[in-house]
A and B are shown apart, each in its own frame.
Chain A
Amino acid sequence: MNYPVWLVPFGSFWLIAFIAVFHVFIAQFAVGGGFFLVLMERDAHRHDDEPMKAWLSSFSKIFVILTLVFGAVTGVGIWFTIGLISPEATSALIHLFVWVWAMEWCFFLVEILSILVYYSSWGKTSQRTHMAVGWTYVIAAFMSLVLINGILSFQLTPGRWLLNHGLRVAFFNPTMWPSMVFRTLLALVLAGLFALVSVAFQPDRTLRAEVAKRAARWLWLPAVLLPFAGWWYLVRVPKVQKTAFVQIPNLKPLGFALVGVVALLVMFSLFLAWLKSRMLRKGLAFFMLFLGLAAVGLSEWVREELRSPYLVASYIYSNSIPVHMEGEIKQAGILGAARFVPDHKLDKKNELQSGKAIFEISCSSCHLASGGPRPLSTVFANFDPQFAGELVQRTNLMWGRMPPFSGTTAEARAVAAYLQSLAPTAPISMAGKAVWERHCGMCHTLDGPFRPILPALQGMGPDELAPLIENIQAMNPAMPSWSGTQKESQVLARYLSDRAKAIKQGGAP
């Protein structure tokens, strides 16, 4: 709105998802890995275990490459990406947290120098000094996590900051502590997993088994605790956001998948830790690392879904429109308020071009118009123009928790016209299920968790339902007016009546 929209051909959301998951994966390993290294080193010194020290030295080499080359630079990459994709939210976060980032920078500086000194001074300083350098790294890396976690959790739960705008309440926000515990546990798990992968290449079988056992014993407990920390985190998320579990269709499966992945990880690590540490092979190690990556990806995904439809909850919507500007934009229209559009006025001649510009401003942060796995143009393909326009105006009522459409009625129609202009022409199905999906499925479920419709229709026959469908807006003004044909309303009425009967008899809807 205030800024130009950077149009990534394959969708900016994929770019940020890829960089973020990759970075979090490496960055959290960087925190846990340091801890793993120094504790293993302490044991190696105690037992004067030279082969173990040699392995730790080579592990620290991999550690340096991963954390500095990939971890540090992708961290900058996230920052670059959010600045390009959501300049409004990035600016807000930087204005509020610049000193927190500056403090994090101090720890980061120490972190980098200490890991370089740690890696390059194996066997070149006293054991005591080397361990001290290692511990310096551990503390600096952990403090980086603590500070960044405050900012990340703020985005989901700004809490009282929305009222008093203070830095302290923003940082110590409602999910700051559970999120920190969750991330720390994940960091410990990842450290164990990377150690497993690294040692799987070790030709010395005894050493390999020894490290496998230690790494597995290291990671199983944090892995067990992860779901509990996740639960604590969810409990601290305000009620409004928790309704996301009902409103976002894929959130529950994501949660279950996360628990499943963690359970598998625990199982494998218990096996390696107490049954057969000699069984560690490259394949198993990489599989376990993949499970770790899945855990990171899934937990970040859950967090993102919970945060929808905001970038900063109740402050900036996910399409970068600030909540406080909603009223102003409603009055001026998106084209009237936007700075980087070809035309500030909408008329018949520029409808498609303006529809494209409005789509880019209000929808492109999460949707593609065409191309990609599920472009909006195919969703809009079979809607009639009036219904399509009314649908665009009701984005906040649909499944998936979207921000409200801030534009005018004419602008909503322009977006719909633009999407329909891209839509492939397909034959319109008149099957009951297809009519249901076309006219109702965007905002209702039959008997599911999200605005179920069948319970209200019990005992009604098709003849009663058809007129009800055709006059639906008179009953509930929030609904779009019925724009289908008479044939469609009859097909839909029969379909709904049949489904309602089926659930009454205890069957599936």
Chain B
Amino acid sequence: MIGPVPSVDPIPIPAPLWLLKTLADATLFIHMLLMDLVWGGTLLTAVYCFKGKPKHFQAARSLARTFPYVFPFVITFGVAPLLFLQVLYGPVFYTSSILVGTPFILIIPTVIAAYALMYFLSWRWERLGAWRGWISLLIFALLGFVGFVFSNVFSLMADPGRFLQKYLAHPSGFQLNLAEPSLPPRFLHMFFAAVAVAGLWVAITGIKRLHQEPDQARWQCRSGATWFAGATVIEILVGIWWLLDLPSDQVRIFMGGGGLSTAAFMVGVVCALLSVVFALVGINSVKPFKHLHMAAMFLGLTVLCMVVMRDALRDAALKPFYTLSKLAVSPQWGAIILFFLLFAGGLGVVVWLLIVAAKARPKPEQPKLGSGKHRLPEEYRKSTVR
């Protein structure tokens, strides 16, 4: 009898499983935070643009400026966990992505369009007028499509029992995993997390300008923290919905059945509640900076716990079909060490580049580029140009 899951690759896994899992989760954690900021941020930008008061525009402008700089890192930090995921879960991941092949490949042009629109929005902000809100909304919808397809692929991946039947129904991959009951809460969980992160970003970036523009800073703090708290509370409710939709053996791992996953669940819920409390206190506080940073820290911990829970949930769902511990492992230690050396070096360069970027200021004493003031002597060009 041929099973539903493709047989594993004959080339052994080139690293200890815990190392691959740790790297996958760590990079996914960063990806989630950055992705939340951009995706939720585009929604807030649109909302602020439609509200149309100067304070709204200022907050929207500052968000829109951020996207082109953050989005390439959303992609980069999305690529890394997907790479490690393919090593660990290749047979189920490749199959589920093929079953959803057509929407899955459409992610690429969609991401290109969304990314190009981010530059368009940021660079043409002044000239776009009333279009700003609509373009932000369009970017939000495009990114929503990407997230929705990923939700489909990842939920189907954990359900190999349906692979064959789904393939035979649509071999061109023109389908999604809409029959999966946990799909709506799964997707909405991501969505509200995105709104929450973007809200907190608005509050924190606003409050940094408390001394320069106190009114704007106070307003941004209030608006952002309200979005954050509201979205987080809804997210907790959606999380409960998701839990209720899971089969009982999978719920059990969060209710005392699995050491790490139970701990992640408990800590995650507590941190989510604490982050809401700190954000609400921050709204009316004289020194909101500290409270908002506490909220951000607890939010980070919550997202980290979610990443760990997500991973545990996948392993629990796959247990009857695919078990990681059965995979052959033969670590390429030389390459692993070289990677960590490069990673450390790369991190150093990244820090230096961030310092350069932070220190970069227009130099007033220099003539504006292209002013023609310092035009080269014509003889210099004449000597070389024909």
Binding site for B on A (CB under 8 A): 2-9, 15, 19, 47-55, 57, 65, 68-70, 72-74, 76-77, 79-81, 83-84, 87, 90-92, 94-96, 98-103, 105-110, 112-114, 116-117, 120-125, 129, 133, 136, 140, 165, 167-168, 206, 209-210, 213, 274-278, 322, 324, 339-340, 342, 344, 360
Tell me the complex Cα distance, A232–B247, Å: 60
Tell me the complex Cα distance, A123–B369, Å: 8
Give every chain A residue within 8 A of B240 (Cβ-Cβ). none
Given contacts A91-B90, A344-B2, A84 and B105 within 8 Å (CB-CB): yes
Tell me the complex Cα distance, A411–B267, Å: 58
Tell me the complex Cα distance, A84–B108, Å: 13
- Nearest neighbor of A336 in chain B, beta-carbon distance: B2
Tell me the complex Cα distance, A360–B23, Å: 37
- Nearest neighbor of B111 in chain A, beta-carbon distance: A73
Tell me, yes or no, whether B246 is within 8 Å of chain A by CB.
no
Q: Is the CB of B10 within 8 A of A324?
A: yes
Q: Is the CB of B367 within 8 A of A50?
A: yes
Tell me the complex Cα distance, A14–B385, Å: 44
Give every chain A residue within 8 A of B108 (Cβ-Cβ). 19, 73-74, 76-77, 80
Q: Is the CB of A83 within 8 A of B112?
A: no
| 0/1 interface trace, chain B 324-358, chain A, CB 8 Å (1 if under) | 00000000101110110011011001100110110
- Nearest neighbor of B23 in chain A, beta-carbon distance: A102
A19, chain B: closest CB distance, angstroms: 8
Given contacts A80-B108, A98-B83, A117 and B346 within 8 Å (CB-CB): no
Q: Is the CB of A50 within 8 A of B371?
A: yes
Tell me the complex Cα distance, A84–B171, Å: 12
Tell me the complex Cα distance, A52–B289, Å: 45
Given contacts A6-B101, A108-B76, A101 and B116 within 8 Å (CB-CB): no
Given contacts A69-B115, A116-B69, A76 and B75 within 8 Å (CB-CB): yes
B230-266 at interface with A (beta carbon < 8 Å): none
A10, chain B: closest CB distance, angstroms: 11
Q: Is the CB of A209 within 8 A of B385?
A: yes
Give every chain A residue within 8 A of B87 (Cβ-Cβ). 94-95, 98
| 0/1 interface trace, chain B 81-97, chain A, CB 8 Å (1 if under) | 00110110011001101
Q: Is the CB of B94 within 8 A of A83?
A: yes
Tell me, yes or no, whether B212 is within 8 Å of chain A by CB.
no
Q: Is the CB of B372 within 8 A of A51?
A: yes
Q: Is the CB of A99 within 8 A of B15?
A: yes
Q: Is the CB of A81 within 8 A of B98?
A: no
Q: 7 smallest A-B Cβ distances: which pairs?
A: A54-B370, A99-B335, A87-B94, A124-B360, A77-B108, A95-B11, A50-B374
Secondary structure of the B side of the interface?
Answer: helix
A324, chain B: closest CB distance, angstroms: 7
Tell me the complex Cα distance, A114–B353, Å: 7
A493, chain B: closest CB distance, angstroms: 45
Tell me the complex Cα distance, A100–B380, Å: 47
A79, chain B: closest CB distance, angstroms: 8
Tell me the complex Cα distance, A136–B356, Å: 12
**Can you give 9 A-B contacts (C-beta < 8 A)?**
A6-B172, A7-B171, A7-B173, A50-B370, A73-B115, A91-B9, A98-B87, A107-B342, A113-B354
Give every chain A residue within 8 A of B164 (Cβ-Cβ). 339-340
Tell me the complex Cα distance, A15–B105, Å: 10
Tell me, yes or no, whether B376 is within 8 Å of chain A by CB.
yes
Tell me the complex Cα distance, A289–B75, Å: 28
Q: Is the CB of A5 within 8 A of B83?
A: no
B103-134 at interface with A (beta carbon < 8 Å): 104-105, 107-108, 111-112, 115-116, 119
Given contacts A4-B171, A73-B111, A121-B357, A106 and B369 within 8 Å (CB-CB): no
Tell me the complex Cα distance, A98–B336, Å: 10
Q: Is the CB of B346 within 8 A of A110?
A: yes
Contact of B335 among A100, A274, A278 (CB under 8 A): A100
Tell me, yes or no, whether B53 is within 8 Å of chain A by CB.
no
B150, chain A: closest CB distance, angstroms: 11
Q: Is the CB of B353 within 8 A of A113?
A: yes
Tell me the complex Cα distance, A209–B104, Å: 46
If A99-B338, A116-B357, A339-B2 are given as contacts, then 10 extra A-B residue pairs at C-beta distance below 8 Å, sorted by A number, are A4-B163, A50-B372, A76-B111, A77-B105, A90-B94, A98-B83, A102-B23, A110-B349, A112-B72, A213-B385
| 0/1 interface trace, chain B 141-167, chain A, CB 8 Å (1 if under) | 000000000000000000000011001
Q: Is the CB of A69 within 8 A of B116?
A: yes
Given contacts A94-B86, A324-B10, A3 and B353 within 8 Å (CB-CB): no
Q: Is the CB of A110 within 8 A of B10?
A: no
Give every chain A residue within 8 A of B112 (Cβ-Cβ). 69-70, 73-74
A98, chain B: closest CB distance, angstroms: 5
B164-179 at interface with A (beta carbon < 8 Å): 164, 167-168, 171-173
Give every chain B residue within 8 A of A49 (Cβ-Cβ). 374, 376
Tell me the complex Cα distance, A344–B2, Å: 10
Q: Is the CB of B14 within 8 A of A96?
A: yes
Contact of B360 among A48, A94, A103, A121 (CB under 8 A): A121
- Nearest neighbor of B352 in chain A, beta-carbon distance: A136
B149, chain A: closest CB distance, angstroms: 11
Q: Is the CB of B80 within 8 A of A99?
A: no
Tell me the complex Cα distance, A80–B345, Å: 29
Given contacts A50-B374, A69-B115, A94-B90, A102 and B83 within 8 Å (CB-CB): yes
- Nearest neighbor of A166 in chain B, beta-carbon distance: B332
Tell me the complex Cα distance, A111–B101, Å: 30
Q: Is the CB of A125 within 8 A of B105?
A: no
Give every chain A residue within 8 A of B359 (Cβ-Cβ). 125
Tell me the complex Cα distance, A100–B336, Å: 9
B92, chain A: closest CB distance, angstroms: 11
Tell me the complex Cα distance, A15–B101, Å: 12
Give every chain B residue within 8 A of A7 (Cβ-Cβ). 171-173
Tell me the complex Cα distance, A112–B80, Å: 15
Q: Is the CB of B369 within 8 A of A99?
A: no
A205, chain B: closest CB distance, angstroms: 9
Tell me, yes or no, whether B361 is within 8 Å of chain A by CB.
yes
B242, chain A: closest CB distance, angstroms: 27
B342, chain A: closest CB distance, angstroms: 5
